[in-house]
A and B are shown apart, each in its own frame.
Chain A
Amino acid sequence: MVAVTESRLLVPVDESASLRNTVAHAVEEALDRAGESGSPAAVHFVYPLAERISFRSSSTRAESARSLLDRVASWAEEDANGADVTIETALVATHEYLSTPNDYADVLVRYANEHDLGLAVFDPRYDPIGSTPLLPSLEAEVRRAGLGVEEAPRNAEQSSQPLVRRGTLTQFFALFAASFGFYLLLAGSVAPFELATGAISAGIVAVALWRVSLTSPVAPPDTVKRLVRFCLYVPFLLWEIVKANVEIAYIVLHPDLPIDPEMVEFDAAVWSALPVTTLANSITLTPGTLTVDVERQHLIIHTLTASAREDLFAGTLERAVRFVFYGRAAARIPSPFERREEEES
Chain B
Amino acid sequence: MTPREIAVVVLIAGGVFFAVVAAVGLIRLPDVYARAHSTSKSETLGAVLTLGAVAASYGIGFNTLKVVLLLLFMFLTNPTAAHAITRAAHELGIEPWTGEEGEDEP
Complex: A203 Cα to B35 Cα, angstroms:
43
Give the distance to chain A from B102, nearest Cβ to Cβ, in Å: 15
Q: Counting CB contacts under 8 A, is B55 at the interface?
A: no
Give the distance to chain A from B66, nearest Cβ to Cβ, in Å: 7
Complex: A284 Cα to B36 Cα, angstroms:
10
Chain A interface residues (CB < 8 Å from chain B): 185-186, 188, 241-242, 244-245, 248-249, 252-253, 257, 259-263, 280-281, 284-285, 288, 290-293, 300, 302, 304
Give the distance to chain B from A212, nearest Cβ to Cβ, in Å: 18
A-B contact list, 18 entries, CB within 8 Å:
A185-B65, A245-B21, A245-B42, A248-B25, A248-B38, A249-B42, A253-B24, A257-B106, A261-B31, A261-B96, A281-B76, A285-B40, A288-B37, A292-B83, A293-B90, A302-B36, A304-B34, A304-B37
Complex: A248 Cα to B38 Cα, angstroms:
7
| Contact assessment for B80 and A293 in the assembled complex, using a CB-CB cutoff below 8 Å | no
Known contacts A248-B37, A261-B34, A261-B96; A186 and B80 CB within 8 A of each other: no
Give the distance to chain A from B15, nearest Cβ to Cβ, in Å: 11
- Give the residue of B17, B31, B65 whose beta carbon is less than 8 angstroms from that of A249: B17
| Contact assessment for B38 and A260 in the assembled complex, using a CB-CB cutoff below 8 Å | no
| Contact assessment for A248 and B41 in the assembled complex, using a CB-CB cutoff below 8 Å | yes
Complex: A248 Cα to B35 Cα, angstroms:
11
Additional 14 contacts, C-beta under 8 A, given A261-B33, A284-B41: A188-B65, A241-B45, A245-B21, A245-B45, A249-B18, A257-B106, A259-B34, A261-B34, A262-B98, A285-B75, A292-B90, A293-B90, A293-B91, A302-B86
- Give the residue of A249, A252, A302 whose beta carbon is less than 8 angstroms from that of B33: A302
Known contacts A290-B82, A292-B83; A252 and B21 CB within 8 A of each other: yes
Q: How many residue-residue contacts, CB under 8 A, span A and B?
A: 103
Q: Counting CB contacts under 8 A, is B50 at the interface?
A: no
Known contacts A185-B65, A186-B66, A257-B28; A242 and B83 CB within 8 A of each other: no
The 9 A-B pairs at the shortest CB distance, nearest first, are namely A284-B79, A188-B62, A252-B25, A302-B33, A245-B45, A249-B21, A281-B79, A292-B86, A292-B90
Complex: A281 Cα to B24 Cα, angstroms:
23
| Contact assessment for A293 and B87 in the assembled complex, using a CB-CB cutoff below 8 Å | yes
- Give the residue of A252, A260, A263 whose beta carbon is less than 8 angstroms from that of B29: A252
| Contact assessment for A244 and B29 in the assembled complex, using a CB-CB cutoff below 8 Å | no
| Contact assessment for A248 and B66 in the assembled complex, using a CB-CB cutoff below 8 Å | no
Give the distance to chain A from B72, nearest Cβ to Cβ, in Å: 9
Q: Counting CB contacts under 8 A, is B93 at the interface?
A: no
B91: nearest chain-A partner, CB-CB: A293
In B1-59, the 8 Å CB interface with A consists of: 17-18, 21, 24-25, 28-31, 33-34, 36-38, 40-42, 44-45
- Give the residue of B24, B44, B66, B96 whose beta carbon is less than 8 angstroms from that of A285: B44
Give the distance to chain A from B61, nearest Cβ to Cβ, in Å: 9
Complex: A257 Cα to B87 Cα, angstroms:
24
| Contact assessment for A290 and B24 in the assembled complex, using a CB-CB cutoff below 8 Å | no
Chain B residues, CB < 8 A from A259? 29-30, 34, 99
Complex: A245 Cα to B30 Cα, angstroms:
18
| Contact assessment for A248 and B42 in the assembled complex, using a CB-CB cutoff below 8 Å | yes
Chain A residues, CB < 8 A from B89? 292
Chain B residues, CB < 8 A from A248? 21, 25, 37-38, 41-42
B65: nearest chain-A partner, CB-CB: A185
B31: nearest chain-A partner, CB-CB: A261
Known contacts A252-B28, A281-B79; A292 and B34 CB within 8 A of each other: no
Complex: A161 Cα to B96 Cα, angstroms:
53
| Contact assessment for B18 and A245 in the assembled complex, using a CB-CB cutoff below 8 Å | yes
Complex: A280 Cα to B89 Cα, angstroms:
17
Complex: A264 Cα to B17 Cα, angstroms:
30
Chain B residues, CB < 8 A from A253? 21, 24
| Contact assessment for A252 and B38 in the assembled complex, using a CB-CB cutoff below 8 Å | yes
Chain B residues, CB < 8 A from A185? 65, 69
- Give the residue of B40, B69, B98 whose beta carbon is less than 8 angstroms from that of A261: B98
Chain A residues, CB < 8 A from B38? 248, 252
Give the distance to chain A from B13, nearest Cβ to Cβ, in Å: 13
| Contact assessment for A257 and B29 in the assembled complex, using a CB-CB cutoff below 8 Å | yes
